[in-house]
Structure 1
Amino acid sequence: MKFIGIVGTNSDRSTNRKLLHFMKAHFADKAEIEVCEIKSLPAFNEPKDKTPPSTVKELSDKIEDADGVIIATPEYDHSITAALKSAIEWLSYTTRPLINKCVMIVGASHGSLGSSRAQAHLRQILDAPELKARIMPSSEFLLGHSLQAFDENGDLIYHDKVKELDECFDEFILFVTLTNELLKKAKFNTEQNKKFSWKQAAEEGAL
């Protein structure tokens, strides 16, 4: 399987980036994970023609081609970062590659909660009509005290969290396999969902 791992921040010192790179190496025998940055994406500005910038299109194409997406989110003020929200807004407003795409959410934080509130908020966002991602249910990977969690080689040193991450990742692989097979058989109209418009929905609701 091929997954895209999205670093949910533009911070150079992010432990969420370290977490994704650890996952890439640790699960190399189970899946290929390409870690993608959002640093180069411009702030969302709602282009009239809905054409994404080249950097957004590049990320979108990678998501389209992947079997699933892993988003590593920190927690800023009880929510996700402005940079991640902007990246998601670009995708939802233009190409909509996350529709029916399987998503696993993980998160690391300097405190003890491991980005739990940000992860809950991200789940709500990804359920919006313009996104409609298939989010892995009943599974959270929360890495607290992340500043001390990695050694000089980038390995996660909390053995209990490594075991927990192993279980979560195996569940995600199964979730992706079953969900993609279901989507294939049920023939959900992904392309029609990509054309969703609030204006059209409002007009139809007024009839």
Structure 2
Amino acid sequence: MFKFIAIVGTNASFSFYRFLVNYMRGRYREQTEIEIQEIKNIPLFNEDMVQLPPQINLPQILNVPRVMADTLPANEFMLGKAKNKLNQNEGLIHEQTIEFLDQCFAIYVNFINNRKLCLKKLMTKEEL
């Protein structure tokens, strides 16, 4: 089972992104454990970096050597017209959006599996 961290990048009491990540935590609970972190609680973002546009700079920040997060380039899930696609009781209710989310999630899990395999092979080569 994978363990992922989802970063919610707003201090607002209600966030469609936070709502979506909670939905994902339930939907993919058989495959992953998703921990939700508020950006305001992460020291790196608790400084001047909060002023940066997060969707542009977050992948760059997460790829710095001290963080070393696995971010998949060019695979972004954007939820347009969120009010029409989310329901407080059911979560995401728009079928095409659910299918796209499933595709994005599967691509990311595949990316992580491949990265894990590559790292394992590299470690084996270093031991020889």
- Do both proteins adopt the same fold according to a TM-score greater than 0.5, normalized to the shorter chain? yes
Report the counterpart of residue 177 of structure 1 in structure 2.
Answer: 113
Task: Give the distance between the partners of 1:149 and 1:175, measured in 2 at CA.
Answer: 27
After superposition, give the CA deviation of every residue in 1:48-93 in whole Å (9 maximum; x if it has no partner). xxxxxxxxxxxxxxxxxxxxxxxxxxxx99822xxxxxxxxxxxxx
Classify the secondary structure of the residue corresponding to 1:143.
Answer: coil
* Aligned equivalent of 1:125: 61
Q: CA 1:30/1:134 → structure 2, altered by over 3 Å: closer, same or farther? A: closer
Task: Look at both structures and tell me which one has the larger radius of gyration over its CA atoms.
Answer: 1
User: After the TM superposition, which parts of structure 1 deviate over 6 Å for at least 4 consecutive aligned residues?
Assistant: none
Cα shift readout 1:92-112 (whole Å, capped 9, x = no counterpart): xxxxxxxxxxxxxxxxxxxxx
Cross-structure match for 1:79: 53
Residues 1:146 and 2:120 aligned together? no
TM-score after normalising by structure 1: 0.49
TM-score scaled by structure 2? 0.75
Alpha-carbon distance in structure 2 between the residues aligned to 1:77 and 1:154? 34
Residue 37 of structure 1 aligns to which amino acid in structure 2? Answer: E
Alignment match, 1:73: none
Counterpart-to-counterpart distance in 2, 1:174 and 1:9: 28
CA distance in 2, matches of 1:40, 1:123: 18
- CA 152–121 in structure 1, closer or farther in 2 if over 3 Å, else same: same
**Superposition CA RMSD, Å:** 2.7
Write 1 or 2 for the structure with the bigger share of helix. Answer: 2
SS at match of 1:161: helix
Unaligned runs of 5+ in 2: 124-128
What amino acid sits opposite 1:33 in the alignment?
Answer: I
Cα distance, 1:21 vs. partner? Answer: 0.3
Identity %: 35
Change beyond 3 A, Cα 1:36–1:124: closer
Unaligned runs of 5+ in 1: 46-75, 81-117, 188-207
